[in-house]
């Protein structure tokens, strides 16, 4: 395995590359652009890269399905950290292009919900077509295949384009979350401000099936940060659930919730416990009474003493 290479959703000039370059270790790695999220993750699976950075969620549309599906169904990988990046688009065009000249636009599908209202106001007759990434859309504009692309303003110089309009976003303070993914290994030590990601499969479809999963978290005071259903491919009505929960697998409340889920789910895939981006331990909300590690230990000790006749 190449320990010095990090893959990412390319080509050069994507928001993913910008997010990757915020990691201190990126300065000492060879950064390799890949044509798609599956290609970036397969580079890790095949040993061509030590890790890959891919988008997994945005604050406008929620989870990035291509990433969630790959992590749920492909050869197991693990998330080691996350990066949050504020997103604002520029409309990139070939020099000399005016707004009235634009009849076709392109970008990554995740960009469309973030610029839809702006397009409806300023490009009422333009046809949208999706690209593999925002930077790839800029490359296609450079080649003359489209009139304009929504991408980061920083991509303009790379592809010989001009930012005709900047600071485009339907939702103020929009962010995208990226995850650094590697081969499965022992999770990093807890920081006090962590997140645990898993994928859960239902055993069968019956009333209250999803509630049973959620109760494993709720009764132990584990807060959920994301839950998204995804089809398993086994037919209509067959779903798995991608879940992000507050806490680390080594926290008693989280570990016991995962054990409970393992008892009732036919399959549980652990995707990692890792530090939450931009959150310090002192900023984490106080635990509900009865859910701290000390209280779990005390309860286990009471049970052992009761079984021995020492309670």
Give the model confidence (pLDDT) of 8-21 as tens digits.
999 999 999 999 99
Q: What are 206-240's pLDDT values in tens digits?
A: 888 889 999 999 999 999 999 999 988 777 778 89
pLDDT at 195 (0 to 100): 97
Angle at which helix 252-264 crosses helix 209-218, to 10 degrees, equals 160
pLDDT at 17 (0 to 100): 96
pLDDT for residue 1 is more than 70: no
Give percent of the chain above pLDDT 90: 82
pLDDT at 202 (0 to 100): 86
- Report the pLDDT averaged over residues 176-193: 96
pLDDT at 209 (0 to 100): 86
Q: What are 141-169's pLDDT values in tens digits?
A: 999 999 999 999 999 999 999 999 999 98
pLDDT at 205 (0 to 100): 77
Give the residue with greater pLDDT, 109 vs 197.
Answer: 197
pLDDT at 206 (0 to 100): 81
- Report the pLDDT averaged over residues 29-51: 96
The pLDDT-based confidence of 280 (bands split at 50, 70, 90) is: confident
What pTM was estimated for this model as a whole? 0.89
- Report the pLDDT averaged over residues 272-276: 97
- Considering the chain, what is the average pLDDT of its residues? 93
pLDDT at 96 (0 to 100): 95
């Amino acid at each position: 395995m190449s320990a010095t290479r990090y893959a990412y959703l390319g080509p050069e000039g994507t928001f993913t590359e910008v997010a990757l370059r915020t990691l201190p270790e990126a300065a000492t790695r060879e950064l390799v652009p890949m044509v798609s999220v599956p290609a970036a993750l397969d580079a890790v699976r095949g040993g061509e890269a030590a890790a890959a950075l891919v988008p997994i969620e945005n604050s406008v549309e929620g989870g990035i399905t291509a990433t969630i599906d790959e992590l749920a169904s492909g050869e197991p990988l693990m998330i080691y950290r996350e990066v949050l990046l504020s997103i604002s688009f520029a409309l990139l065009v070939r020099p000399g292009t005016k707004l009235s000249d634009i009849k076709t636009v392109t970008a990554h599908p995740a960009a469309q919900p973030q610029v839809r209202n702006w397009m409806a106001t300023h490009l009422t007759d333009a046809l949208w077509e999706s690209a593999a990434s925002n930077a790839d859309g800029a490359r296609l504009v450079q080649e003359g295949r489209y009139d304009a692309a929504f991408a980061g303003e920083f991509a303009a110089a790379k592809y010989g384009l001009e930012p005709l309009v900047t600071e485009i976003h339907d939702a103020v303070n929009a962010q995208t979350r990226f995850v650094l993914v590697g081969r499965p290994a022992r999770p990093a030590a807890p920081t006090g401000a962590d997140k645990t990601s898993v994928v859960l499969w239902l055993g069968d479809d019956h009333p209250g099936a999803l509630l049973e999963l959620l109760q494993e978290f709720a009764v132990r005071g584990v807060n959920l940060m994301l839950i998204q259903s995804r089809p398993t491919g086994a037919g209509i009505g067959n779903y798995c659930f991608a879940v992000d929960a507050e806490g680390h697998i080594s926290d008693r409340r989280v570990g016991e919730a995962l054990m409970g889920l393992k008892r009732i789910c036919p399959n549980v895939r652990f995707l990692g416990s890792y530090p939450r981006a931009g959150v310090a331990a002192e900023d984490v909300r106080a635990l509900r009474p009865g859910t701290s590690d000390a209280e779990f230990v005390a309860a286990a000790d009471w049970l052992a003493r009761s079984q021995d006749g020492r309670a």
